[in-house]
Amino acid sequence: MSLWLLPALGVWPLLCAALVQSGRLWWLPAVGALPALAAALLVPVGSRLELPWLLLGTTLGMDELSRVYLLFTAVLWLAAGVHAAFSLRGREHARRFSGLFLLAMAGNFWLIVGQDLVSFYLGFAMMGLSSYGLVIHTGEASALRAGKVYLVMALLGEVTLFAALVLIAQHAGTILPRPEQLADLDDLTIALTILGLAVKAGMAPLHLWLPLAHPAAPIPASAVLSGTMIKVAVLGWLRFLPIGVAVLADWGAMLTFAGLATMCLALPVGLMQSDPKVILAYSSIAKMGVLILLLGTILADPALAPLGVAGMTLYVAHHALVKGGLFLGLGLRKYAALGQPLVLTGLVFLALAMAGAPLTSGAVAKQGVEPLLASAQWPWIATAVGVSAVATTLLMTRFLWVTAHLERHPESGYAWPSVAWIALLLLVLLFPFVLGAPHDWLVKPMPLILGILIAVAVLAITRRRPALARVVIDRVPPGDLLVLAAPIGRAGAWLLRAVSGGLATAYSGAMTRLSRVYSGVIDQPAGDSERTLREWPIAGSLWLAIGALLLVSVTGLAPSLQPEAPEVDAVAEAEPMAEAGIELPPRPLEEPQRAEAPDAKSSTEDDDLVLDERVEATEVAEIDSGQSALVEPTPTAVTPARTQVTDTTAQARASEACDPADPLVLISPLRPNERIVLAPCKAGAAGGAPQLIDAPDLTNALVLMVQEYLWTLGMDPGPRDGLIGPQTRGAIRDFERSQAVPERGALDFDLLERLHQAWTAQAKNRP
């Protein structure tokens, strides 16, 4: 029953987004995250829910990574939702903000539990586009400018990510790729995956939107932008990069230096700011730089993957809760009428946690990534991260100083937001004791002490000479590189206007002359002709004619996925196989009489699309010449361990000697002239013993033949189109159930042998 919490965590916020527009249900943002929190606590790890009717076949699931992400994301969205519902109640455009807030919430939750590529991208796009409305909520000039930069960067990232996910699906042959299927991703796909998510992560120089969006957005939006939304980039990298299955030394080095550059840019620029929200934005950029550096270390050494992924996930959870608490506490400091001593105390505690003080979540997070830094390719990386810890202490000291002297505007309605914030503080307080061991609580305090001493010294100097502080503060405005690039942009805009102005003048003159010629020939003003064309009978007829022409073109030129095989004489067909020493099973006298599955079923029922349509040229030539076509896929570079099937047939097969010269020959039950030859093992390295491989490469020809086997044996694989989707996998499970073997739905050599043997037995028994 708890499995249905997985779709509910995305559907419930969408329903709330629609209902909140009535005005009477203004409190719905406060409860939008409850199903997600329940799912994180109640859905068992390893659970999976397949929805073949949704999109291209949606798979929702809960693994260890998803559980941790969903837990801290739901907690922060819940606290921010309470803050948004009560602090914005009765304000102008509050309903619009609440609707967009809930849409972004739904997208964030959906991409976490969505295990397939399409679900991840759908949630990512929904979250990113909805956040644009949160950034420009106030409608001020600064908010509109920040929104423009955010929208451009967000669309750039989403288009790049879409291209990367399409290439991943094409490479893996499925929208639900396994880690081993990502082992030999090409450099273009890896580059697009990194860049598409780097925008959301705030990796320099793609971080420009973060320091602009945070001060423009309301407090609850800033909390989730910095606390949860930028963290989905790390989730995407951990899912769609070959983590732990391939050595990517060059990409690892690139990400390592990109992370260092991000830290080195964000920390000093953040110290120059006077807006506390901008300071927190640059702090988030610096922390994402640390995570990018750690990701590079894992890519360079796959052996660090198990420990590295766990350490990064712990670090992400710590930063999300603490940074969200800092933003929400800042809102209470500015607007809450009561409890200011408690608010300041809580902000000091959260700042210490962000700096990694002992007995805080920051200490546990630092200990979790310490082995990664110790195993890094370059020893000085650990030193650089230590220096960044000192700078983080300075940044948090600067934040506390600015917040303490913040101009306050007390308002009513902050009682429940204060309660939610205190609950979040308690979770951060318990973090090290629940998720950390006692030896993790007391880290080396030297970076913290050094940072505090430097901060005290700087404060003493600036008190004596305030002019020194005025020289530095706000010297670099938010958006840093964007401001530096502004003169170049203005020069480019001037040049573009000059060129386009000349082209527009030439175009206008040419069109005037053409209009005169037209009027003279037709004896009717050009404007009258345009009005005639715009009239509904003519315009509608033209539209229908063009649409019909396109439809005829598409249907006439679309190649058939299942060409009819020519009739082949059984004796002539057997001669080449006999010469090759291959025994041909008896050919069925007639095709089984059963209803043909409709070929017009929507391809949206397929969740694992086999996109690779490679056909060897020799195969095509042999088919054209009437000879038997032998398709011999090349084994994949990464050979996963074989899955042990607890039945006698599989055990007998596993005990047989592996002989590369003894291939598995599959014969199509509906097109006997079509054959595929597969090698179930490969030669060992350096002359060693041959090794069994788990499964062949998936091609359209192989999947089509499996679908024909299943259809002939009485199963329903759906459309026989060479695409392996939920219906095909369901038919495979039905077949495995009929064979009394574990139901896995996998297309491997065990399945192929069973299908071939079952069809051969059926053909022999047919009268």
User: For residue range 600-628, what is the model confidence (pLDDT) as tens digits?
Assistant: 333 334 443 333 333 333 333 333 444 33
Q: In what order do the strands lie in the sheet with 664-667?
A: 629-631, 674-678, 664-667
Alpha helices for 88-186 (secondary structure H) = 94-113, 117-135, 141-172
**Residue 61: which pLDDT band, with cuts at 50, 70 and 90?**
very high
Residues whose CB falls within 8 Å of the CB of residue 687, separated by 6 or more in sequence, listed in order: none
What pLDDT score was predicted for residue 745? Answer: 77
How confident is the model over 425-446, as a mean pLDDT?
Answer: 83
- Better-predicted residue by pLDDT, 316 or 539: 316
What pLDDT score was predicted for residue 626? Answer: 40
Question: Rounded to whole angstroms, how far apart are CA atoms 77 and 84?
Answer: 10
What pLDDT score was predicted for residue 541? Answer: 56
What pLDDT score was predicted for residue 1? Answer: 61
Q: How do the domains of the chain map onto residue ranges?
A: 2-484, 486-556, 570-765
**Residue 104: which pLDDT band, with cuts at 50, 70 and 90?**
very high
Contact criterion met (CB below 8 Å) for 363 and 436 = yes
What pLDDT score was predicted for residue 489? Answer: 55
Residue 29: asked if its preceding bond is cis (omega within 30°), the reply is no
Closest Cα partner for 242 from 196, 193, 307?
Answer: 193
Residue type, 229: M
Q: Helix axis angle, 749-765 relative to 700-712, nearest 10°? A: 40
Give the pairing of strands 47-51 and 629-631. unpaired
166-209 pLDDT, tens digit per residue, is: 999 998 888 999 888 898 899 999 999 999 999 999 998 898 89
Q: Taking all residues of the chain, what is their mean pLDDT, rounded to a whole number?
A: 79
Question: Rounded to whole angstroms, how far apart are CA atoms 510 and 46?
Answer: 67
Contact criterion met (CB below 8 Å) for 33 and 105 = yes
Residue type, 381: I
Contact criterion met (CB below 8 Å) for 53 and 63 = no
- Better-predicted residue by pLDDT, 537 or 231: 231
Q: Is 640 left (phi over 0), alpha (psi -120 to 50) or beta?
A: beta
What pLDDT score was predicted for residue 390? Answer: 93
Lowest-pLDDT range, 155-159, 304-308, 615-619?
615-619
Q: Is the pLDDT of residue 69 over 50?
A: yes
pTM: predicted TM-score of the whole model, two decimal places: 0.67
DSSP 209-253: HHHHHHHHS-HHHHHHHHHTGGGHHHHHHHHHS-TTTS--HHHHH
649-694 pLDDT, tens digit per residue, is: 444 444 445 666 678 888 888 888 888 888 877 766 555 667 777 7
Lowest-pLDDT range, 41-45, 393-397, 478-482, 760-764?
478-482
Q: Is the pLDDT of residue 130 over 80?
A: yes
Lowest-pLDDT range, 154-168, 208-222, 491-505?
491-505
Q: Helix axis angle, 446-464 relative to 380-404, nearest 10°? A: 50
Q: Is 85 left (phi over 0), alpha (psi -120 to 50) or beta?
A: alpha
Q: Is 657 left (phi over 0), alpha (psi -120 to 50) or beta?
A: beta
What pLDDT score was predicted for residue 685? Answer: 56
542-563 pLDDT, tens digit per residue, is: 556 665 665 554 444 443 333 3
Strand ranges inside 587-692, DSSP E: 629-631, 664-667, 674-678, 681-682, 691-692
What pLDDT score was predicted for residue 39? Answer: 95
Question: Rounded to whole angstroms, how far apart are CA atoms 360 and 133?
Answer: 35
**3-state SS assignment for residue 525:** coil
